[in-house]
Chain A
Amino acid sequence: MNEITAGLWGLLFDGLWITVQLTVYSAALAAVVAFVIGLARTHRLWIVRFLSGAYFEIFRGTSALILMFWIFFVVPLLFGWQLVPMWAAVLALGLTYGAYGSEVVRGSVAAVAPAQREAGIALSFTSAQQLRKIILPQAWPEMVPPFNNLLIELLKGTALVSVVGVGDITREANLVRNATGDSAPVFTVILVMYFVLAFVITRGMRVVERQAKASIGQAPPKSGGITAKLGLRQQVETSQSAGGSS
């Protein structure tokens, strides 16, 4: 039984930095996938809807861990492409959480009042203009709370990369555990680290939501009492929140 020494704390903080990077890059990829697939699922051509729907069902149906295994161990064998571990992990997480995100995008876009789109047609906006100037600005505030929940799921999902050998917090924690021979302190420390990261994400997304609502002239979200402040999840309608778990 040894204390966690300064060097071991250094390992944990290296891991923390890798986790933060993974979360940011995967979130960026997931956002791109979510918007592309989500908007494609409302496209007027059936073939576009079908293909994007198939993407959604396939990537929502598989487990992120299995996809990661596949990209790490099967893609090099079958296709001969060996990806850098960090980017393979980002690819697996981004594709999976992008599929969940596409449902949020699709739902929020569908929830914009039809009269808004009709007004765009009446003003002879092109469909790109309708999307950029009318639909998305109104759909965006609706997307932020479910995106916050998905971001936390993504943060939790980054722990999976430790299984395939990327040096994130969880992997470094296992190294520290081997070095100190004591499990309880190190795992408690990293659970708290994850919780703090989740808290920071939520605070950030509350700011984003406030600005998004203000930009279309809606009142800011209510801040509630102490229990609401403690709650990292934001309440979303059941149909959206239910699908959005890893």
Chain B
Amino acid sequence: MDAALLRLLAMRMRGGLRLRLMQLVSLRGALLFIALGGIIWLLIASGQLDPTAQLFGGASLDSQAIRAEIETFMPLGMLGMTLLTVLLSTGPSFHFSPTEVNLLFVGPFSRRDLIIYKFIAYAAGAALSATLIAPFAQSQTGSAFSAFTATFLTLLFVQLNSAAVGMAWQAFEGNRLARLKWPVTALVCALALAAMIHAWAVPDRSISGLISDVRHSWIGTIILMPYIVFAELFLARAHFPDLALWAAIAILINVLLLRAVIKLDRRTSEFSLREDTRLSDRWERMKQGGSFWATERSEIPSIRSAPTLGGLGPIAWRQAIKAARNSSKLIVIFIVGAACAGPLSSMAGVSITGKHGLLMLYFFFGFSLPRTLICDFRGDLSRMETYKTLPIAPWRICLGQLVVQVLLSYVIALTMIVSLLLFEDSLGAPVALALAAFALPLTLLIYAVENTIFLLFPAKLVPMGRADFEFLGRSLIEFILKTVVILIAVALAIGVGVFTLLTLGSTLVLSGLASWVSLTLIAGLAMIVMQFAFRRFVVAEAFD
């Protein structure tokens, strides 16, 4: 590879390190780093991040059971990722940024050099990720070194495999047989679904047993051969000969894939360029608070007029349009996922209303969903100037911003409740009704708190590369803060309900109603605080 590219890599890595150190020098950066480090240390010390501590049950899985799970599910999961790459990928996954296109593509470098440059950059990132993951995986692999080796080589494989598969598919796409992609996919999915339903319905059979049978059949072993190598890396009992042998095979596979990528790149270079531009546009849009999945069509029918509703209408209307055009696929995925919660928990024999199930639900509705589906102030940092100059009362703007976000999240919650009601034996209709009633004020509270924090301390929604500890620390602290507020609110609401029950001695309905009214009032109070945060938001200070 050209020495200049190596030098550039070294300078960029040094620059990245310098940026992190500069973050540390600031008081905010140092505090967030200490907070993040402290929380992670506490989690490790308390064993919460120990992979042997399972989420679904009180007892920990034994080491042998985890080994069996890795051996069975990891190769299948990796094959699934490869197939998804073929189905969904729109291009090769060696992505060059616009800066690299402008500076390196016009420079005296061959495409081979540029691919290797990109691969080394990715390998450096993978090494950093593996370093961060190793402490948590070492209890499974036996040592930090083996955890690092397994993680590093697997991350490289995932990248190279998806690039090679994506490029091979692009090269093949002109072929007549490529048209069979979706019919074949539909057929395979139908067969898989039929097999799963059969396994579920027949006594003494289970879906996990079926998957295990497929994985350990001779045909499954042949198909999954390259992926099994990477599962074996995590299962190696000793550094030598187990780990050394599997690592050597893994390195060989990665080298072959890199060669394939370089060869295939000649046939797909123009397509790659188009894909680079498309991806860069998406990331730019994300940095501006937009969605990665936004529509890429250039012309769509305009909706001629917005509802007024005293100022609340146009704001909610804008967010509704944004959700429909930018996040429709995401919303469908979440709704389908929520609808599957009941059947999946039933098939897996896991009670979603148990302690761990509820924790997972809270993590989903309190962290994952708000971080992924964004149709409120958090996606509008670059448009705050516009909101500030609108002749609409701040409370209407705030409410308008939250309406769509809250309703969408509520629809997802309702879908999940209905799904659980149908498939979960422990969930009766009265409990489901109560959950549906409480979900609305709780959702409003979650997003009011989320937006208040954002308006008081505006920040970017995407991390600046790997190991952006300021971003990670901030996300974690925000989540903890939000959890504390919600716990207090729920405790107060329950307290009011219990007080009503004790003093009036009436039915549970009245105390439940008292709790619901309390929670709704607290959510309303959070809206007032959010309005205050919006009023004191200074546009000029938000951009540094």
Judge: A and B partners, yes or no: no
| Chain A residues with a Cβ under 8 A of chain B | none
| Chain B residues with a Cβ under 8 A of chain A | none
